């Protein structure tokens, strides 16, 4: 990996395990903790790239599985790679496709060599191996790429999760060997569910490979929030302190707060944009359902304290109208707000860490949520 990548730990909060850092990539710096909006098919749904910048987004995620199926990774490559194609010149991360393979597709065959799946789009059979996952991600051209992992659901046997850990380690080595580009940081992914000894097994397998960053996979797959937090309590300390730590697919704002308190640096989740399309807004006081009748004649902004383009220009009444009328502008406006809210939260977390006040920030955050029952 080239020297274009550099993770600098700036501060560690003395009231928690929270930390603030700078992650240098070929397409710019990411201040951590950071939240990456999800652009599954090379677009953060309903938002122009310039609006992401304006919101303060520094890094986005795109999904290898979806892009490999359509338009195909070679097409993305021929369109200049993800940065050029999407007109996003900031850092990008692609996942490995592992999560989608195990959640979206019909598995036809899996062994240590490869996985054969049926496309959720047209039923065609696809082969994916660690080597192929790297080739695809090199075509896509993101700054950070992920090893192919096996991500089992929450409710399978311990033995099944152990097998997934072993296979994920095996595949991680092959991914590292397959990598040809020096301008992409390849992350290893820990598996092991909520089991401490299996997480240790996973760390023991992956740490010697010395990846430039580590992701925690296999969470947010059906376990309770408390189980996720407990798992982070013992898993994060297994990871090197001088490398970025990425909790995949998480989550609600409170989950991000809790995970940052436990030392996680990077997050991604579809919730801000998906909930926006379902007329649900995130606020400091919890979620607001904009289809609710009570917003009909409400001339106040969704969140009077929010500086986003939506809250400074439009009323709750107008937002409700747009959703009731099925107008595209509703999801567009609410996606901008929800993403802005997530950015506000991670910015505040960073500030709290620098001021050694993260535990206090967490308490206030929880109190605000609890003191506003049923905003909707």
**Footprint of a copy of itself (CB under 8 A):** 41-43, 45-50, 66, 70-71, 75, 78-80, 84-87, 296-297, 299, 309, 313-315, 317-318, 320-322, 324-325, 327-329, 331-332
How far apart are the C-alpha atoms of 64 and 38, rounded to whole Å?
Answer: 12
95 classed as catalytic:
yes
CB of 311 to a copy of itself, least distance (A): 12
Residue whose C-alpha is closest to residue 265's, from 65, 27, 23, 91: 23
Of the pair 222, 325, the CB lying nearest a copy of itself is at: 325
Of the pair 26, 49, the CB lying nearest a copy of itself is at: 49
CB of 333 to a copy of itself, least distance (A): 8
CB atoms within 10 A of CB 239: 23
Residue whose C-alpha is closest to residue 344's, from 255, 271, 274, 284: 284
Question: Would you state the structure tokens that stand for residue 249, as one six-digit string?
Answer: 């697919």
Of the pair 130, 331, the CB lying nearest a copy of itself is at: 331
CB of 181 to a copy of itself, least distance (A): 21
Which residue of the set 13, 95, 143, 265 is catalytic? Answer: 95
Of the pair 208, 307, the CB lying nearest a copy of itself is at: 307
CB of 64 to a copy of itself, least distance (A): 15
CB of 330 to a copy of itself, least distance (A): 8
Which residue of the set 13, 143, 265, 268 is catalytic? Answer: 268
CB of 185 to a copy of itself, least distance (A): 25
The residues that are catalytic are 95, 268
């Amino acid at each position: 990996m080239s020297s274009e990548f550099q993770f600098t730990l700036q501060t560690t909060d003395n009231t928690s395990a929270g930390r603030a850092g700078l992650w240098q990539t070929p397409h710019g710096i990411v201040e951590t903790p950071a939240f990456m909006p999800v652009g599954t098919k090379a677009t953060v749904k309903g938002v122009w790239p310039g609006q992401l910048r304006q919101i303060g987004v520094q890094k986005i995620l795109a999904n290898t599985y979806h892009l490999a199926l359509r338009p195909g990774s070679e097409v993305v490559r021929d369109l200049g790679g993800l940065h050029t194609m999407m007109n996003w010149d900031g850092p990008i991360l692609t996942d490995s496709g592992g999560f989608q393979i195990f959640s979206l597709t019909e598995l036809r065959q899996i062994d240590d060599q490869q996985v054969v799946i049926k496309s959720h789009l047209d039923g065609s059979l696809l082969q994916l191996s660690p080597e192929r996952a790297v080739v695809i991600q090199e075509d896509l051209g993101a700054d950070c790429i992920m090893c192919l992992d096996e991500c089992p659901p929450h409710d399978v046997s311990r033995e099944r999760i152990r097998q997934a850990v072993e296979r994920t380690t095996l595949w991680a080595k092959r991914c590292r060997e397959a990598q040809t580009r020096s301008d992409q940081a390849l992350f290893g992914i820990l598996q092991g569910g909520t089991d401490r000894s299996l997480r240790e097994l996973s760390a023991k397998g992956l740490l010697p490979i010395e990846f430039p960053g580590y992701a925690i996979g296999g969470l947010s797959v059906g376990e309770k929030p408390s189980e996720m937090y407990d798992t982070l309590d013992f898993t994060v300390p297994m990871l090197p302190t001088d490398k970025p730590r990425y909790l995949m697919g998480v989550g609600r704002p409170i989950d991000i707060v809790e995970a940052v308190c436990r030392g996680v640096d990077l997050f991604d989740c579809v919730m801000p944009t998906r909930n926006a399309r379902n007329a649900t807004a995130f606020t400091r006081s919890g979620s607001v359902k904009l289809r609710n009748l009570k917003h009909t004649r409400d001339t106040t902004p969704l969140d009077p304290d929010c500086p986003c383009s939506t809250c400074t220009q439009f009323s709750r009444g107008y937002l409700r109208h747009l959703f009731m009328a099925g107008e595209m502008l509703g999801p567009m406006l609410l996606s901008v707000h929800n993403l802005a809210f997530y950015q506000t939260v991670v910015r505040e977390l960073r500030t709290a860490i620098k001021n050694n006040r993260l535990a206090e920030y967490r308490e206030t955050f929880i109190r605000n949520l609890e003191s506003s029952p049923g905003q909707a």
